Amino acid sequence: MGFFKNVLASIGIGGTKIDTILHDNAVQIGGSLKGEVQIFGGTVAQQIKEFFIVLNTKAEKEADDNTYYVTMKVHAHHIPQAFEIQPGEKKVVPFELQIPYHSPISFGKVKLWIQTEAEIISAVDAHDQDMIKILPHPAQQVVLDAIAKLGFQLRNSDNEYSAYAPYHYEQEFEYYPSPEFRSYLDELEIAFQLSANELVVKMTIDRKARGLMGMLREAAGTDDKRIRITFDNDQLIRGGAEYAAREIRDVIHRYKK
């Protein structure tokens, strides 16, 4: 009987199960996510080799005139704990996962989740999945508040796949123009490049075609202006949305022609 139990456990029937418990399912970029992996022994003893806690998201990818979503690994945390779990036994492995600065924000269409995997020797690995909400870093929140303060309305936010981006995806925020900018602006797109000390706001200004030159630019596909604004994180947070809004307004007005 023990032989058949071992065979069944090796293909995932009656084997070890895991359940990831998050202490908080909402965490800020730059902060840490704490939790524990609960391991439940099955019908036979099994050898656990190690654990992986992976933060995942999805990115929109275009190929051959088709659009689809691919899973992107944002960050992986390795727990090198090896032990044997007995039938019916329960073990608990705590963990702490740092949310990296390049993580997307749970905003618009963007979803993130934690995938937990226990690698089991000579058997099917055990898996668990938990949705999580990633909140903006304080510097990013200031810029998002400033954009709203200028009257822009969010149209969409999604991860775009790019083979050239450092992590092969980039979160884009697309906004309808506010009345102040509507006469010469079709759309505003922003993306963040965050580090411990500074925030780079990458802006794409989609200008309206006005007059002959505007129509020529539009026909040539050159009517977009791409701009980078670099903020010191501490200064940005101290200055708040009013300060950021002034800087962003000045840049947009500068490129309206």
Domain boundaries, the chain: 2-135, 138-254
DSSP 8-state code for residue 81: -
- pLDDT tens track for 181-225: 888 788 999 999 999 999 999 999 887 555 434 444 444 444 578
Averaged pLDDT for residues 225-246: 96
For the chain, what is the largest distance between any 2 Cα atoms, rounded to a whole number of angstroms?
84
DSSP string, 124-149: PPEEEEEEEEEEPPHHHHHHHHHHHH
Give the whole-angstrom CA distance, residue 6 versus residue 12. 10
pLDDT at 32 over 70: yes
Residue 17 has pLDDT above 60, yes or no: yes
Residue % of the chain over a pLDDT of 70: 86
What's the pLDDT score for residue 123?
65
Residue 111 in this model has a pLDDT that exceeds 60:
yes
101 pLDDT above the threshold of 50: yes
Nearest CA to 191 among 183, 180, 199? 199
For the structural domain made of 2-135, what CATH number should be given?
2.60.40.640
- Where residue 234 falls among pLDDT bands split at 50, 70, 90? very high
pTM confidence score: 0.86
The number of CA neighbours under 13 Å toward the Cβ of 210 is 10
